[in-house]
Amino acid sequence: MKKLTVLLASAMMLMPSVAFANGNQESAKASNGPVELTLWHRWSGTNGDIVNELVDSFEQKNPDIKITVVPKPGEYVQLLQSMIADMAAGNNPPDLFIGGYNMLNYITRELHPTELKDLAPNKEALDAVKDRYLPSMYQITQIDGKQIGLPFALSNIMTYVNMDIFRQAGLTEADIPETWDDVIRVSRIIKEKTGKYAVSIQTPDTWSDSAMIYSLGGSLTNSEQTKVDLTNPACVQVLSMWQDLVKEGLHPNMTDQEAESAFVAGDVAMRFGSIMKVTSFYKQAKFDLKAEKFPVFPGHENKLPTGGSALISFSKDKAKKDAVWKFMDYATSKEGMTIFTKTGYLCVTKDKVPVSKGQEKAYEQMPQVVLWPNWPGGAAGMEIERLYLDARNSIIMQGAPVKESLQKCQDEANKLL
């Protein structure tokens, strides 16, 4: 009995040390071993494999640095949620974080990433990397006057066309829509001739909405970006048009995952979505696929929000900061971009890298690219995003009255500011 008592007492004494053994990862780093970094991103499948290829290539050239890749498949907001939850659990933020451009305001103001000038070993090295970018591109990661990272992934919205369905409907490449009027006209022909859905627009966030609304001269906020403005004519017109597409049976009433899989399965003629999908679409599609420019509204020029993400670091330790800089330098070099652009994302730097099949038109659209608008209100913006997406889905999928729903959403959103 005595032995048992001693055993139990020892186990209890050991318990706290076991429970908290993983508490501080920073101190767990071996002093003489390679510098260990963590890299968080949101990709899976082909794109996740390409990120691994980039990291492997970097590690071969830098055997003194070991990067643990942590994929968190989902949208950028979900990646951010995972990181914040991880930090709240007492873990250190990742050394390298590939965060969406539409999250940069929140990340900068709430999470305080390490500024680029504190990562670079000297001004010459910083300027050398800066020179790789067009000034307008480099400024994407400049928030409140601080350069908080490097632009890394770049995308814009495209029209993917199933040419087999077009041909079944008696249409040719010349009929691929250039304007939204064309989209409606061609969609009706496709529906009538094939019975298939003609068009689906990606819906998980405000990216497609922004592309259409801003291209039509509208906005999601007031000009000072202090209030939500959803009742401007362009906003109402775009959502009315989208609702009509669903009502006419031209656009499927499906979740976004379902709509994308329906397109890949050959059940939808056109899909408006990110160029970052181009590689996986070509891989999966069993039909003649073409990637074309996003349609314009007659009399307007397109303003397409920049999709993609930036390389950001939260490292504070000197050895880690040096290693992070080496990775950033490599990932944005010509060699790094050559590997990464195989995902379908476009090259963010001025380097000429091989153009993947389908990317040509996306590069042609680059002059029309604008910043992906953030909602005002910092943390409140997260709630506003959800309010808007609920209202928008209710309008386009459930047929809710457009003006009234937008007015209600706008009022509720502005109450949060």
Partner 1 sequence: MVCSRKQNELLLFCLFVSPALILFVLFKWWPILYSFFLSFMQWNFVTSKHFVGLANYIRLFSHQYFHKALGNTVLYILGMLPFFVVLPLFCALLLSYVVRKRLQSLFRALLFIPNILSFSIVCLVWMWMYHPGFGVFNSALALFGIAPVSWLNDTHTALASIVVVTGWKILGGNMLLYAAGLLMIPKSCIEAATIDGASQWSIFWHVKWPLLAPTTLYNLVTAVNYSTERVFIPINVLTQGGPDKATTNLAHMIYLFGFNFFNIGLASAAAIFTSLLFLVVTVAVMRGVGGFGYYEN
- CB closer to partner 1, 393 vs 414: 393
DSSP assignment of 300-314: ----EEPEEEEEE--
Taking the complex as a whole, the smallest distance from the CB of residue 178 to partner 1 amounts, in Å, to 28
Q: What kind and span of H or E run contains 70?
A: strand 65-71
Report in angstroms how near the CB of residue 56 gets to partner 1 at its nearest.
Answer: 29
Q: In sequence order, what are the beta bridge partners of 370? A: 305
Task: Rank residues 79 and 216 by Cβ distance to partner 1 and give the closer one.
Answer: 79
Closer to partner 1 by CB, 5 or 122: give it.
5
Dist CA 40 CA 25 (whole Å): 16
Query: To the nearest whole angstrom, how small is the minimum distance from the Cβ of residue 284 to partner 1?
Result: 15
What count of other Cβ atoms lies within 10 Å of the Cβ of residue 280? 17
Hey, CA dihedral for 127, 128, 133, 137, is it positive or negative?
Answer: negative
Counting every residue written for the chain, the total comes to: 417
Closest to partner 1 by CB, 8 vs 128, is: 8
Q: Kindly state the smallest distance separating residue 195's Cβ from partner 1, in Å.
A: 12
The torsion angles phi and psi of 69, rounded to 5 degrees, stand at: -90, 130
Name the site residues for partner 1 (rule: CB under 8 A). 1, 5, 8-9, 11-12, 15, 77, 81, 84-85, 87-88, 110-111, 252-255, 257-258, 261-262, 265, 267, 379, 382-383, 386, 390, 393-394, 397-398, 400, 412
Q: How far is the CB of 111 from partner 1 (least distance, A)?
A: 6
Complex with partner 1: residue 225 or 261, whichever CB lies closer? 261
Residue 274 β-bridge partners: 157
| E strands, 122-183, in order | 142-143, 146-147, 149-155, 157-162
Question: Rounded to the nearest whole angstrom, what is the least distance from the CB of residue 38 to partner 1 in the complex?
Answer: 18
Give least dist CB 207 to partner 1, A.
Answer: 17
Give me the helix-helix angle, 233-247 and 402-415, nearest 10°.
Answer: 130
Shortest Å distance, C-beta 45 to partner 1 = 14
Nearer to partner 1, 86 or 351 (CB): 86
* Nearer of residues 81 and 365 to partner 1, judged by Cβ: 81
Is residue 235 a contact partner of residue 373, using CB atoms and an 8 Å limit? no
Looking from the CA of 270 toward its CB, the CA atoms found within 13 Å total: 33
Alpha carbons 15 and 162: distance in angstroms, whole number = 60
Q: Pick from 342, 203, 197, 167: which is nearest to 264 by CA?
A: 197
Residue closer to partner 1, measured from CB, 84 or 241 = 84
